Structure 1
Amino acid sequence: MKREPPQSIADYGPLFFPAGMLLLFFVIPFGTMIAVSFFQRQEGGFYTPAFVFSNYERFLSPFFGGVLGFSLMLAVTVAICCVVLALPFTYLLSKFTRRLQVFWLVALLSVLSLSEVIIGFAWSTLLSRTAGLSNLLVKIGVLDQAVALFPSFGAVLTGMVYQALPYTILVLYPAIVRLDPTLMEAARTLGSSPIRAFFNVLVPALRNTIMATLIMVFIFALGSYLLPQILGRPQHWTLSVLITDQAIYQSNMPFAAAMAVFLVLVTLGLVALTLLIGRKGEKA
């Protein structure tokens, strides 16, 4: 069937509502944030309209470079850990009976219902010295005495991987279920071991999906705010935490807006890269 072009403005009616929502909740706030990022900060926490680049020049400072580098490193580590854990689990999940698959998917969706605050304080309890996992390690003889496992980088990484892992599994699940099962069977028939067939057949077949999932989890982890604060020290704070600190506690709204603009642009660039990978996958 040939699609007819719009004949009048009324034919564009279905687009008015989503366009209005996009304008109201993204374009206008983002434009305001860009404008504020060029404002001049005054003494006492006030700022005046101006067009200065001093807020963006602070990006070159060693402090900001350290925070940005740590945020990117943490997001990359979380993305890699999630995919490494989720890929074999999702593949094994696809081999379960339909009833077991539904059970595990419902369990994953229940984890997604937990807020970041609940996850953060739950892991802070599990990693504490008084009621945490270290007490279990003492009982089985691994440790001599109970110790606090947070605040630390490992605690931040554990909490963020726990939070992002269900998203990773749910994204990989449809692609693995649609995969032709005869590919693995053919590899096994030709003499490959299950592990070798997994890496030589399954992983290359899901290359585009894996890349898109890595980018998605990276974006998710890059915007993490509460978990680094609850489970980490100030040196473990991400760029999102620094933005809040500058906006609320330091009363430096122009610099906070400049960092937020930078974070949004990085996120939009990664989203565009994900869409590009998806289109290449469809053509392939």
Structure 2
Amino acid sequence: MRRMPPERAADYYPIAYPALMLGLFFVVPFAIMLAISFFQRVQGGFYEPAFTFANYGRFLSVFFGEVLVFSLVLAALVSAVCLLLGVPFTYFLTKLSRKAQVFWLVALLGVLSLSEVIIGFAWSTLLSRTAGLSNLLVAIGFMDRPDAWTPGFGAVLTGLVYQAFPYTVLVLYPSFSRLDPSLMEASRTLGASPLKAFFTVVLPVLRKTLIATFIIVFIFALGAYLLPQILGRPQHWTLSVLITDQAVYQSNMPFAAAMAVFLVVASLSLVLVVAALNRKGAGQ
């Protein structure tokens, strides 16, 4: 069946409402933020209309460049770890009984109901020296004395993976549940081991879903704000933390808007690059 191009104005009605919502809640706010990024800050924490690149010039420094690179690397690591854990988890989840699947999905939704504050302080307790997991490892003989694992990069990564993991599974679950079981059976009949069949048959079939999941988790982790502050040191703070600091505590809204523009452009650039690679791979 070939899709016919729109011929009348009424043919565009189905996308009118999504386009309106996209314009109101993304295009308009982004345009306002972009305009403010060129404004000039004045004394007293205010700003006035202008057209200056000073805010962008200040951002293009070594310090803020390192923060941007760290934020991108952290988001990529969170996405990669979530996929490494979420893909086999979701695959085996779809092999369970319907009752067991419902139980695990409800448990994941329960994690999503937790606020970021609860998750942050819960992990800060679990990774602390006084009441953390290191005390359990000491009790069973794996460690000589308890140690504190927070604040640190590992703690930030663990907290973000814990927070993003339910989103990973919920995005992967529909595609894995609709996966044709005859694909695995055919590959096993041709002599492939279960592990080889999984990597050579299942994952290539779900390539687009995996890419979409990576992008969703990446953008989610790129906007992390509270967990890096609770579980990390200042060198582990993401760009979102600095944006809030400039906007709220430093009262420098134009500079905060310039950093936010960089963050949005970085996210959109990743989506466009991955989409282009995906189309190129599909065309070959």
- Give the TM-score, by structure 2 length: 0.89
Counterparts of 1:244 and 1:269, CA distance in 2: 23
Aligned residues: 281
The amino acid that maps onto 2:240 is: S
Q: CA deviation at 1:220?
A: 0.7
1:66-124 deviation digits (Å, cap 9, x = unpaired): 00010000000000000010001111111111111111111111111111111111111
Q: CA deviation at 1:172?
A: 0.9
- Which residue does the alignment assign to 2:27? 27
| % identical equivalent positions | 69
- Which residue does the alignment assign to 1:5? 8
Task: Within 5 Å, give how 1:56-67 maps onto structure 2.
Answer: 56-67=56-67
Counterparts of 2:105 and 2:277, CA distance in 1: 26
Counterparts of 1:14 and 1:195, CA distance in 2: 43
Task: Within 5 Å, give how 1:30-41 maps onto structure 2.
Answer: 30-41=30-41
Counterparts of 1:267 and 1:65, CA distance in 2: 15
Contact 1:212 1:278 in 2 (8 A): no
Change (3 A) 1:17 1:95: closer
Contact 1:208 1:277 in 2 (8 A): no
1:141 is aligned to 2:141: yes
Calculate the aligned-residue CA RMSD, in Å.
2.6
Contact 1:246 1:256 in 2 (8 A): yes
The DSSP-based 3-state class of the residue aligned with 2:57 is helix
Change (3 A) 1:23 1:202: closer
The DSSP-based 3-state class of the residue aligned with 1:240 is helix
Counterparts of 1:258 and 1:146, CA distance in 2: 44
Contact 1:41 1:48 in 2 (8 A): yes
1:168-223 deviation digits (Å, cap 9, x = unpaired): 11111111111111111122222222212111111111111111111111111101
The amino acid that maps onto 1:100 is: A
User: Where do 5+ consecutive residues of structure 2 fail to align?
Assistant: none
Which deviates more from structure 2 when the two are superposed, residues 183-192 or residues 151-160? 183-192
Counterparts of 1:196 and 1:15, CA distance in 2: 42
Q: CA deviation at 1:34?
A: 1.3
- Which residue does the alignment assign to 1:190? 190
- Which residue does the alignment assign to 2:103? 103
Counterparts of 2:129 and 2:26, CA distance in 1: 44
Counterparts of 2:14 and 2:94, CA distance in 1: 39
The amino acid that maps onto 1:196 is: K
The amino acid that maps onto 2:169 is: I
Task: Within 5 Å, give how 1:104-183 maps onto structure 2.
Answer: 104-183=104-183
Q: CA deviation at 1:15?
A: 7.3
- Which residue does the alignment assign to 2:264? 264
User: Where do 5+ consecutive residues of structure 1 fail to align?
Assistant: none
Counterparts of 1:244 and 1:42, CA distance in 2: 19
1:232 is aligned to 2:240: no
Q: CA deviation at 1:271?
A: 4.7
Counterparts of 1:14 and 1:98, CA distance in 2: 35
- Give the TM-score, by structure 1 length: 0.89
